[in-house]
Amino acid sequence: MRYLTAGESHGPQLTTIIEGLPSLLPITAEQINYDLKRRQGGHGRGRRMQIEKDTVEIVGGVRHGKTLGSPVALVVKNDDWKHWTKIMGIEPLPEDVDPSEIKRQISRPRPGHADLVGGIKYGHRDLRNVLERSSARETTVRVAVGSVAKALLKELGISIVGHVTEIYGIKADTSKVAGKSADEIRQIVENDPCYSVDPEASAKMVEAIDEAKKAGDSIGGVVEVIVEGMPPGVGSYVHYDRKLDGKLAQAMLSINAFKGVEFGIGFEMARRRGSEVHDEIVWDDKQGYHRRTNRLGGLEGGMSTGMPIIVRGVMKPIPTLYKPLESVDIETKEPFKASVERSDACAVPAASVVAECVIAWEIAKAIVEQFHSDQLPQLKAQIEEARKLAKEF
């Protein structure tokens, strides 16, 4: 199972093609649009979210609400394109137009962004050619893809939820939702301005975001994704590139501005002894094999254990600042304040939705690769059989 995306931030549209989905999977634009709307929400978002009202068009691979087994094509139009048709036009420029006269050219790279290195790599003197693709706008269609993956996981009895655990050092008390299911956590998160499970911490997060915005600055944070209902043994220990935790880590770090990832209690393991880290194995008639604790985050030896998978990612503050840092103009080599584009003071809440979707994709992909998956009914039967075999082992 794989997908590709195409499109620029201010181009006409964002496009993705998904290959390898089972046939007979129910998919609607409505369920994808729900996740697209969540991505545009969360406290701290900028003016771009007021301009774009992201909705998806399913233009291939689905008939009468179900997948055909052929590639699924999704399109999200950019409403702002009408204001950028000359600047971001597809057709060659007329001979009497000097490229240097095109508006919105950028020669001042932003520290922390792809601008300078991307320009060097691809030979772009106008750094807009870099930022248009490196922009987090691309995550719009990755959320659409992840929404499709979540639909598949739901059919297999697997639930997933993302939420914000920290912004600018303000930490949510996640013990407040201890013992709650992923679906119960979602009900709390989706009614919170920062997509947090802790209303008191969320109120402080809102204040911190507003203060950063007033100062022309930005702040980052930490998001957590929880996956419940996984059958044991998804992934593998036999090769490095088949380890499920490795795939999930790569997915999390592929999100724009993410710089760290951890599972279970994560880096806290470095401060504990082995007896305080590893999860003891127990068995009973109802659950079969399970763990007394879940400090390893539902993963051992590169495979799912059947316990909830818990993965967190850290997002740095967005590098586009209204109080820009010093940079160098690539044309004059003179020091300047970096260019300013529309930006968010904090995109951590929105990033929790992106994280939820990219993790959903990797989980779904790992399952499809491991089990026969041409048709959804066959896949569901195999997953149930795998759960039964694990319990009776």
Are the C-beta atoms of residues 57 and 78 closer than 8 Å to each other?
Answer: no
Q: Is 242 annotated as a binding residue?
A: no
**Angle between helix 29-39 and 139-155 (nearest 10):** 130
Count other Cβ atoms within 10 Å, centred on residue 79.
Answer: 12
Q: Is 16 annotated as a binding residue?
A: no
Are the C-beta atoms of residues 309 and 295 closer than 8 Å to each other?
Answer: no
Q: Is 339 annotated as a binding residue?
A: no
Residues whose CB falls within 8 Å of the CB of residue 218, separated by 6 or more in sequence, listed in order: 212, 317, 318, 319, 320, 321, 343, 344, 345, 346
Q: Is residue 210 classed as helix, strand or coil in its secondary structure? A: helix
Q: Look at phi and psi of residue 302 and say left if phi exceeds 0, alpha if psi is from -120 to 50, else beta.
A: left
Q: Is 226 annotated as a binding residue?
A: no
Q: Is 291 annotated as a binding residue?
A: no
How far apart (Å, rounded) are the C-alpha atoms in residues 88 and 81? 8
User: Smallest Cα–Cα separation from 278: which of 247, 260, 306, 299?
Assistant: 299
Q: Is 294 annotated as a binding residue?
A: no
On the CB side of 355, CA atoms within 13 Å amount to 33
The CA–CA distances, whole Å, from 1 to 50, 156, 380 equal 34, 16, 17
| E strand or H helix at 249 | helix 244-253
Q: Is 297 annotated as a binding residue?
A: no
Q: Is 318 annotated as a binding residue?
A: yes
Q: What share of the chain is helix, strand, coil (3-state, %, to 5)?
A: 40, 20, 40
| E strand or H helix at 354 | helix 348-370
Q: Is 219 annotated as a binding residue?
A: no
Q: Is 33 annotated as a binding residue?
A: no
Report CA dihedral (348, 349, 350, 354) to the nearest 10 degrees. Answer: 80
Q: Is 146 annotated as a binding residue?
A: no
Q: Is 135 annotated as a binding residue?
A: yes
Residue numbers belonging to the annotated binding site for NADP(+): 39, 45
Residue numbers belonging to the annotated binding site for FMN: 133-135, 256-257, 301, 316-320, 342
Residue numbers belonging to the annotated binding site: 39, 45, 133-135, 256-257, 301, 316-320, 342
